[in-house]
Each structure stands twice: as C-alpha cells, then as structure tokens.
C-alpha cells in the first residue's frame, strides 16, 4: 500500500467564550477525545486585546475584525476567558478540524461541533464555539503565542535557556 504515513503534529484548540457560556466544555472535550490525540497543554486564559489581536492578526482587514476581537475577549458573552489546549498526535491538525467542522456554522456538517453548537449573530459574526489551527505553520505560531515552553509537557519546538533578571512576576505569598 502506498498510503501516506501519518505525521505527528500539534494543534492549538481554544474553547471560545460562547462555548464556555453554553457549558460545552465537557461536550467538546468528549468529541475531541474521539481523535485519540493527547492533550499536552491546557489552561484557562483571560484574553487581553493584544493577545486577541495577535491571534487573529490575519483577519485585521476584515470588516468584522473589531467584533471578532470582542468575541474572543469574551465581551459578547460576559465570559472573559477561553480554555486553551494543545492536542498532539498523528494528523492532529486535520483530525481536530474535521471534528470542528466548517468556519461558518450554517455550512458546517450538522454532526460537527460547530454544526451542532455554532450560530451566526444578527450582525453576521460566526460564533463557532472553538478555534483549531489550520496548518503546521499556523499551529506553531499560535502555540508559541498562547503557551510558554514549560507549560507544554512534550518538546514541540526548539527552546533556549535565558537568564531573565529583574523580571517582576506574581508568586504565592
Ligand atoms: O476559525 P477558522 O480557521 O475556521 O476561520 P478563519 O477564517 O480563520 O476565521 C477566524 C474566525 O473569524 C472564525 O472562526 C469566525 O469566528 C470569524 N469569522 C466570521 O465571523 N465571519 C467570517 N466570514 C469569517 C470568519
Ligand atoms: Mg483560521
């Protein structure tokens, strides 16, 4: 057989604020567990404007950009957080995108996550409950944006050791 062998990949998944507001976390995790991929990083993030704008920087020129930033920040759902995760394993990118479904929830397969739970707002924004990276370079950019190396339990990308002096950070008192 000349079947192309599967590539070990990593992909960023965000449960967006509408997914959290609709209490879909358990459901989405269960659906994604069908992939048999491993979760190698996970956290809850309060999304700043800077993070949202960087995440969606390729959408900068879209008429709905401002709306999209407010959406990711949770301003449309009174849930100012997202759950960020890295899924890792064979063909991770395509497997997660497949289960997620098309960007437009009306066009997404009815059985997909977005098809099941997404909606289009009256303003025309696609509230599609989760984000998933579309290719390896996007995954790399996004994982590095959302996670520090020591927050991921496998070595995904090269790292370097840096001594950071006089860095202020919050520690347990
Ligand atoms: O999220 P995905 O990669 O499937 O789609 P995208 O083209 O990268 O767009 C990013 C996000 O912008 C989508 O997930 C939607 O929330 C939003 N979007 C929208 O509201 N209306 C569109 N016509 C396209 C995207
Ligand atoms: Mg995208």
Tell which atom from ligand 1 comes closest to the C-alpha of 16: 16
Q: Residue 111 in contact with residue 37, Cβ under 8 Å?
A: no
Q: How far does Cα 147 stand from its chain's mean position?
A: 11
The question of whether 131 is a catalytic residue gets the answer: yes
Give the mean model confidence (pLDDT) for residues 135-162: 98
Mention every residue, 6+ apart, whose C-beta is less than 8 A from residue 40: 10, 86, 87, 88, 152, 153, 154, 156
pTM above 0.85, yes or no: yes
Q: Return the domain boundaries, the chain.
A: 8-151
Q: Pseudo-torsion of CA 38, 43, 45, 107, nearest 10°?
A: 20
The pLDDT tens digits of the residues spanning 31-58 come to: 999 999 999 999 999 999 999 999 999 9
Nearest to 82 by CA among 103, 55, 104: 55
Tell which atom from ligand 1 comes closest to the C-alpha of 120: 20
Q: How far apart are the C-alpha atoms of 10 and 6, rounded to whole Å?
A: 13
Instruction: Please pick, among 131, 132, 147, 156, the residue that the annotation labels catalytic.
Output: 131
Q: Helices 25-33 & 92-100, crossing angle to 10 degrees?
A: 130
Give the mean model confidence (pLDDT) for residues 127-146: 98
Q: Could you tell me the distance, in angstroms and rounded to a whole number, from the CA of residue 19 to the centre of ligand 1?
A: 15
**CATH code assigned to 8-151:** 3.30.70.141
Biggest CA pair distance of the chain: 60
pLDDT at 2 over 60: no
Ligand with an atom nearest the CA of residue 128: 1
User: Which of 106, 126, 127, 134 is the pocket-test mutation for ligand 1 (most atoms within 8 Å of CB)?
Assistant: 126
Q: Residue 95 in contact with residue 8, Cβ under 8 Å?
A: no
The DSSP 8-state label assigned to residue 5 in this structure reads: P
Residue with the two structure tokens 């860095």: 167
pLDDT at 3 over 90: no
């Amino acid at each position: 057989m000349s079947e192309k062998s599967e590539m070990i990949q990593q992909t960023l998944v965000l449960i967006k604020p509408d997914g959290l507001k609709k209490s879909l976390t358990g459901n989405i995790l269960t659906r994604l567990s069908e992939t048999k991929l491993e979760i190698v990083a996970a956290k809850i993030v309060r999304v700043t404007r800077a993070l949202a704008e960087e995440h969606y920087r390729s959408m900068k020129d879209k008429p709905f950009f401002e709306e999209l930033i407010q959406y990711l920040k949770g301003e449309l759902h009174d849930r100012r957080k997202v759950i960020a995760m890295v899924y890792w394993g064979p063909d991770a990118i395509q497997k997660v995108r497949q289960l997620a479904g098309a960007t437009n929830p009306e066009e997404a397969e009815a059985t997909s996550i977005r098809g099941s739970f997404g909606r289009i707002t009256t303003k025309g924004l696609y509230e599609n409950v989760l984000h998933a990276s579309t290719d390896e370079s996007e995954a790399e950019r996004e994982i590095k944006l959302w996670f520090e190396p020591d927050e991921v339990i496998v070595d995904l990308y090269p790292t370097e050791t840096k001594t950071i002096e006089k860095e202020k950070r919050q520690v347990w008192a």
